[in-house]
Structure 1
Amino acid sequence: MGCRCDTVSGLIAGSVLGALLAALGGILIPVGDNIIRSTVTKEAVIEPGTLAYENWIASGAPVYRQFWLYDVQNAAGVVENGETPRVSEKGPYTYRTRYLAKTNITAYENHTVSFSLPAGAIFDPSMSVGPEEDVVTVLNLVVAGAYSTIPKFLHFLVEAEIKKSGASLFQNRTVKELLWGYFDPIRKDYVGVFYPYNDTADGPYNIFTGKDDISKVSLINSWRESSVLSFWKDPYCDMINGTDASSFAPFLDKKKPLYFFSSDICRSVSAEYSGSHDLKGIEVYRYMLPAKTLASPRDNPDNMCFCHETLVTKNCTLAGVLDVRSCRDNAPVYISLPHFLHGSPYLTQAVLGLSPSEEHHSTYLDVEPTTGFTLRFAKRLQVNMMYGPSLVITVLKKVKDYTIFPLAWLNETAALDDETADRFKKDLVGRIDMLETVQIALLSLGSAVCVLCAVAACVVHRRRSTIA
């Protein structure tokens, strides 16, 4: 009988121990969450010694800009017969960019830090369809620019310069010339789609470090020493919202959009959660630009203050094009998504050969939700210019309508490499997973021991009662 009592007592003790283990596992949930939050908050601050600072000071993953150029197939037919231009996409021509670390880094007592982003591009032939010396037939930048910027009553001056130089509406240029610059005989200066680029810098930026408030980490405090823009002449459109998209505040809520400012398009935009993905064993949230980003003010009233040139935008009813002349030294440049994705049908009807695709032409960010770090991204933009009919300029006399003409589109991409992914998982994700494993193990083991011992104690007690 004493043995049986000891057995029951032992089982009861085991049940109690199991309950204590389960309770400990339950207690570790809020405690563990606090540990995780504390660890992430510490490592997300932009200051020397943190994981965020290591990734912020210089891009660990290589950043590439791929370019596709629009090669005009019927240049003579457009000029001589008024044909609708037909283009063929040629690319990619790939360059390594953002390989230079941030410069002029200065920390301030108000928990902000300022810096500049040096620009540079190195051609990568292994990731390109051909050399930079490949020749393409493209829009003549100066002719189109002169048409857009010089009043019509002075078009006779443009006609004289075109005749003197022997230029036309289209021209043959190498990839390198078109992208990075060439000497133009009409303008008597260098021009190019991205000229100047090398040896320039974006900024200076001033951002919050998150030291006093982690929810503000990476938010842009000012750009070019101003907290607002001056391009759009409107308080709403001139706001600088969010970060530069390289990182966001930790502990993302997928129901809330992310905001970021892009100097390439001179405005702030938002991105919305579209789904979760696996990136080298790390769960990331994918955020994409909504279709309404470049919608016409008729469909998205918030875009009204971005509508400047009513001729270009068909009295602000045209979707898909952003006039950025005010932030490009009045150069007649218009930004869109590649192949006029989400744009009005008019755009793809005016230029044949375009095939917009959500998969290939949309912009997205893959952000790790706990830290807020952007671990992979694809920024896709298209550069366009405009030309139209003229009674004076010979090469434009047969043109039937105003045309937003695509020059090139770019895909800027980066993704963390295997080494960085392994370090990220070891230093942060691994610790979080280990803590969660311990919590689950204690809860599961404790609950199982508690239930089994309790059941066994009841069985033993019942048998003893039966024998007695």
Structure 2
Amino acid sequence: MGCCNRRCGLLAGAVFGAALAILGGILIPVGDQIIQSTVEKEAVIVPGTTAYENWISSAAFVYRQMWLFDVQNALDVVELGATPIVKERGPYTYKVRYLAKSNITAHNDAVSFLLPNGAIFEPDMSVGSEDDLVTTLNLAVAVSLPCLSVLPPLWVYIRYLDWLKASTKSSLFQRRSVREILWGYQDPILKDILGVFYPYNGTFDGYYTVNTGQDDISRVAMIERWQGESKLSFWNDTYCDTLNGTDASSFPPFVDKNKPIYFFSSDICRSVSSTFRETQDLWGIEVYRYVLPPSTFASPSINPDNKCFCTEKLVSRNCSMAGVLDVGPCRGGAPVYISLPHFLHGSDYLRQDVLGLNPSEENHFTYLDIEPITGFTLSFAKRLQVNMMYGPSKVISVLKHVKEYTVFPIVWLNETATLDEATADRIKAELFSRINLLENVQMSLIGIGAATFALCLVSYCCVRC
């Protein structure tokens, strides 16, 4: 009887263990549904949710490092037609995006807001002072070039005669402080304020109108309107003028790494896609790293979708130029061209027309680190280069030795933000703790049940023998 009781007890234990394992398996879809419900509740952009608190004001400051290109042979370029040689100077670092969203207005399942622009110089994170001098392209020359074909020759002659008396020694180039080049100076030619980022402080990006996700969580943070319009008006093409994706600060939850993500960037006046590269660990949080593919700024012959972004034939060499986006249509016609730093993934002749550039995939690519369950962007590096164009002219004497239209680099920027350890711990405690607890219960039931079943079954067999 004792042996029978032992066998019966072991058999009952095996059955109980199997039941626990089955219960754990049954709870997986139930638990997944609870996890999904929890995440969706916290991911909508309404007051009181985790997403809303992070959305109003980022927990991490955004810093913009900038490297300016200092021309080493300005006189030779003007007088002898030499190829410009540049040397990178930087970083000069500014704290940007430190102000909370403003003018927040909720309506139906969407919310509108403005992004305030501000820049504070960070000397401890910079190689020098804002007063450092750099030789760069004379912005007035570049800005004036598109107008020359419609200006009376006599007016042009008189205007530039005055300019030659008032401008710098080399004329085509100028030597100014970092502060002036970036944020603005009174130009003696155009009698106006010019600067790469002028105006900036005290201005706003937007209005943005984004979906709150209340009615459809797959639409959360998706941009519905920018500056009051549901589409862009720069490219005269339905595809290129489409507002597609979010502003990249967050994405709908449950990110599928096998699919690209989309976001709109007002810096380049268009929407772009980003593809999964690898998984990273950020303070114990698994994130998906997404990167801009080389096709983003590829020539239309490589990426036909980019055909509508080519708005002129001369500088782009009949739209064969790769690696550069002409954003003149959204910059009032100014000859401004955006690229990756050092013309990464750009046509070879871009680096032959300006010497001293050394593109590096490691240092010059753009990425987003996204937590896949919530869709929150926890770290990013936006790396872009601002270029302007100059070319040959029979009217302007300082351009008479210029042989080709040249896309000239002015500055490249590395705009970054990353989650700090304290904020990561708070996110893990507030949201992931509940998810992890449920997952641990599921796995524990399966593990304990399976172990109990196996142990009891083996013991039962041994007793029978």
**TM-score for the superposition, normalised by structure 1:** 0.96
Give the corresponding residue for 2:167: 166
Supply the distance in 2 between the matched residues of 1:48 and 1:424 (Cα, whole angstroms): 17
**CA deviation vs aligned residue, 1:374-400 (integer Å, no higher than 9, x gap):** 000011111111111122211111112
Give the match's secondary structure for 1:150. Answer: helix
Residue 61 of structure 2 is aligned to residue 62 of structure 1? yes
Where structure 2 has 5 or more consecutive residues not aligned to the other structure, the ranges are: none
Which amino acid in the other structure matches residue 197 of structure 2? F
Which amino acid in the other structure matches residue 146 of structure 2? S
Residue 194 of structure 2 is aligned to residue 196 of structure 1? no
Question: Any conservation in 1 of the 2:370–2:377 contact (CA below 8 Å)?
Answer: yes
Give the match's secondary structure for 1:370. Answer: coil
Q: CA deviation at 1:28?
A: 1.6
Supply the distance in 2 between the matched residues of 1:211 and 1:94 (Cα, whole angstroms): 39
Which amino acid in the other structure matches residue 166 of structure 1? S
Q: CA deviation at 1:157?
A: 4.7
Residue 34 of structure 2 is aligned to residue 35 of structure 1? yes
- Greater mean alpha carbon deviation, residues 415-424 or residues 438-447: 438-447
Supply the distance in 2 between the matched residues of 1:157 and 1:280 (Cα, whole angstroms): 63
- What are the residue-to-residue correspondences of 1:47-446 with 2, within 5 Å? 47-109=46-108, 111-151=109-149, 154=153, 155-167=156-168, 168-446=171-449
Supply the distance in 2 between the matched residues of 1:382 and 1:9 (Cα, whole angstroms): 76
- Greater mean alpha carbon deviation, residues 150-159 or residues 68-77: 150-159
Which amino acid in the other structure matches residue 139 of structure 1? L
Where structure 1 has 5 or more consecutive residues not aligned to the other structure, the ranges are: 463-468
Supply the distance in 2 between the matched residues of 1:278 and 1:156 (Cα, whole angstroms): 61
- Greater mean alpha carbon deviation, residues 162-171 or residues 312-321: 162-171
Which amino acid in the other structure matches residue 164 of structure 2? K
Q: Percent identity among equivalent residues?
A: 64
Give the corresponding residue for 1:466: none
Which amino acid in the other structure matches residue 271 of structure 2? S
Question: Any conservation in 2 of the 1:144–1:386 contact (CA below 8 Å)?
Answer: yes
**CA deviation vs aligned residue, 1:328-351 (integer Å, no higher than 9, x gap):** 122221111110111100100000
Q: CA deviation at 1:159?
A: 2.6
Q: CA deviation at 1:96?
A: 0.3
Supply the distance in 1 between the matched residues of 2:415 and 2:279 (Cα, whole angstroms): 21
Supply the distance in 2 between the matched residues of 1:203 and 1:400 (Cα, whole angstroms): 40
- Greater mean alpha carbon deviation, residues 160-169 or residues 383-392: 160-169
Say what the alpha-carbon RMSD is for the aligned residues: 1.2
Which amino acid in the other structure matches residue 336 of structure 1? S
Supply the distance in 2 between the matched residues of 1:290 and 1:161 (Cα, whole angstroms): 47
Question: Any conservation in 1 of the 2:146–2:334 contact (CA below 8 Å)?
Answer: no
Supply the distance in 2 between the matched residues of 1:374 and 1:105 (Cα, whole angstroms): 21
Residue 442 of structure 2 is aligned to residue 448 of structure 1? no
Give the match's secondary structure for 2:435. Answer: helix
Supply the distance in 1 between the matched residues of 2:218 and 2:395 (Cα, whole angstroms): 58
Give the match's secondary structure for 2:11. Answer: helix
Which amino acid in the other structure matches residue 20 of structure 1? A
Supply the distance in 2 between the matched residues of 1:157 and 1:408 (Cα, whole angstroms): 31
**CA deviation vs aligned residue, 1:106-164 (integer Å, no higher than 9, x gap):** 1112x000000000000000100001111101110001221233217644355324224
Give the match's secondary structure for 1:242. Answer: coil
Question: Any conservation in 2 of the 1:146–1:158 contact (CA below 8 Å)?
Answer: no
Question: Any conservation in 2 of the 1:85–1:352 contact (CA below 8 Å)?
Answer: yes
Question: Any conservation in 2 of the 1:288–1:364 contact (CA below 8 Å)?
Answer: yes
Supply the distance in 1 between the matched residues of 2:286 and 2:351 (Cα, whole angstroms): 37
Which amino acid in the other structure matches residue 143 of structure 2? G
- Greater mean alpha carbon deviation, residues 301-310 or residues 115-124: 301-310
Q: CA deviation at 1:219?
A: 0.3
Supply the distance in 2 between the matched residues of 1:78 and 1:211 (Cα, whole angstroms): 59
Question: Any conservation in 1 of the 2:167–2:188 contact (CA below 8 Å)?
Answer: no
**CA deviation vs aligned residue, 1:401-445 (integer Å, no higher than 9, x gap):** 111000001110000111110011122223322222222221111
Give the match's secondary structure for 2:130. Answer: coil
Question: Any conservation in 2 of the 1:148–1:386 contact (CA below 8 Å)?
Answer: no
Aligned pair count reads 460
**TM-score for the superposition, normalised by structure 2:** 0.97
Supply the distance in 2 between the matched residues of 1:139 and 1:457 (Cα, whole angstroms): 87
CA 13–166 in structure 1, closer or farther in 2 if over 3 Å, else same: closer
Question: Any conservation in 1 of the 2:163–2:188 contact (CA below 8 Å)?
Answer: no
Which amino acid in the other structure matches residue 160 of structure 2? E
